[in-house]
Amino acid sequence: MTTRDHQILNALPYPLVLLGGDQRIVAMNPPAVERLGAGLIGRSYVSLRQPALLDCIEQVFRTGQAGRTRYPGTGLDRDRTWSVLAAPLPEGILVSFEDVSELEQAGQARRDFVANVSHELKTPLTAMLGFIETLRGAARDDATARERFLGIMQREAERMNRLVNDLLSLSRVESDERMRPTAEIRLGDLVQSVIASLRPVAEPLGVTIDIDCSVDSQTIVRGDADQLTQVFFNLIDNAVKYGRDGKRVQVHMERVSRDSSLRGPAYHVTVQDFGPGFDPIHIPRLTERFYRVDSHRSREMGGTGLGLAIVKHIVNRHRGRFRIESTPGNGACFTVSLPAVA
């Protein structure tokens, strides 16, 4: 083992373990120490312990041919999946580890996603099929039942339709999350027009929407108008629906000369309701797809379970921050921070 070997191994980002001809561990680079543990230098390769890995190495020593294996980590690296190459050197073996966890997780994420979407659709579809059957059979000549069932069917179909639209929105936002939007948007005007479009929803529920705005309505941010409209629509619509008992939604807009998480001047838009709020324990998961504080209530309100996930992704794309606060009994407060144009 030369210093030069060390230099090369240490210049590489993946875990590497060098074994000598005597089957002992000669060198490990820092990623290997981090994943496999310290204090292994000079010990036999069997100290690496992972059965699939040991089998693979043992075979390379026996045959002189390179070997590959793949296994889920345990202990220090239990959240990882490794793909390993053990390549023979004139003396000893160089073992390199490739972390394939993200790929495995991407596959798992897709399966979870399919399972969630299917679950969201199965219930309303089953209900629809039941109503259709009843309308063609038992309730064939019952005009009152018909009107009622058709009303429920319409709500369910509209909710499924919203779900499909939300899925498409989310997918689009994710695909251009790396491209920062560049149009100049008048933030105050945009928020005002969202409020105007939601008043017809709020009034029948007895909810007023107030705005107090300490900034010029002509304030410019760099953004995507459709996406920012969706952000404030989702937040204010939620506040009206879930906070309806509080009878009031307060929208507040201000300029902050230095936002520490954005490292510069920013605009903060806060949407506050005075309804029941929720246990803060839910906050970290609220922006996950299909996570709901109260599934039954969310569905009753026509929610798709995707609204806050969409908000989070749009705000990320705008290089902003999204913060949620709530005290049970005291309403909930959602804050969007967007970088101000310098």
Count the site residues for its own copies by CB under 8 A.
61
- Cβ(85)–Cβ(59) under 8 Å? no
Which of 33, 54, 125, 220 touches its own copies (CB under 8 A)?
125
Which of 50, 69, 96, 234 touches its own copies (CB under 8 A)?
96
DSSP 92: S
Which residue lies nearer to its own copies by CB, 30 or 280? 30
**Inter-CA distances, 86 with 1, 16, 32, 58, 253, Å:** 18, 10, 14, 10, 59
Q: Which residues contact 27 (CB under 8 A, 6 or more apart)?
A: 1, 5, 6, 9, 16, 17, 18, 41
First vs last C-alpha separation in the chain: 55
Residues 11-50 as x/- pattern, contact with its own copies by CB under 8 A = xxxx-x----------------------------------
Nearest approach, Cβ of 65 to its own copies (angstroms)? 13
Q: Which two tokens stand for residue 306?
A: 């995707």
Nearest approach, Cβ of 87 to its own copies (angstroms)? 4
Q: Kindly report the CA angle at 166 between 202 and 175, in degrees rounded to 5?
A: 135
Which of 62, 64, 79, 90 touches its own copies (CB under 8 A)?
90
Nearest approach, Cβ of 134 to its own copies (angstroms)? 10
Which residue lies nearer to its own copies by CB, 74 or 118? 118
Residues 163-182 that bind its own copies (CB under 8 A): 164-165, 167-168, 170-171, 174-175
Residues 241-270 that bind its own copies (CB under 8 A): none
Nearest approach, Cβ of 242 to its own copies (angstroms)? 26
Q: Concatenated DSSP letters for 276-307?
A: ----GGGGGGTTSTT--SSHHHHHHTT--S-H
Residues 47-86 that bind its own copies (CB under 8 A): 85
- What does DSSP say about strands 208-213 and 248-259: parallel, antiparallel, or unpaired? parallel
Which residue lies nearer to its own copies by CB, 118 or 327? 118
Contact flag: residue 300 with its own copies (CB under 8 A): no
**Which of 19, 100, 101 is CA-nearest to residue 56?**
19
- Cβ(9)–Cβ(29) under 8 Å? yes
Nearest approach, Cβ of 274 to its own copies (angstroms)? 35
DSSP 275: S
Looking at this protein, which amino acid is placed at residue 62?
R
Q: What is the 3-state secondary structure (H, E, C) of 25-65?
A: EEEECHHHHHHHCCCCCCCEHHHHCCHHHHHHHHHHHHHCC
Residues 131-160 as x/- pattern, contact with its own copies by CB under 8 A = -xx-xx---------xx--xx-xx--xx-x
Residues 99-118 that bind its own copies (CB under 8 A): 102-103, 106-111, 113-115, 117-118
Distance, CA of 190 to CA of 177 (rounded, Å): 21
Nearest approach, Cβ of 29 to its own copies (angstroms)? 11
Nearest approach, Cβ of 226 to its own copies (angstroms)? 17
Residues in the site for its own copies, rule: CB under 8 A? 2, 4-5, 7-14, 16, 85, 87-90, 94, 96, 98, 102-103, 106-111, 113-115, 117-118, 121-122, 125-126, 128-129, 132-133, 135-136, 146-147, 150-151, 153-154, 157-158, 160-161, 164-165, 167-168, 170-171, 174-175
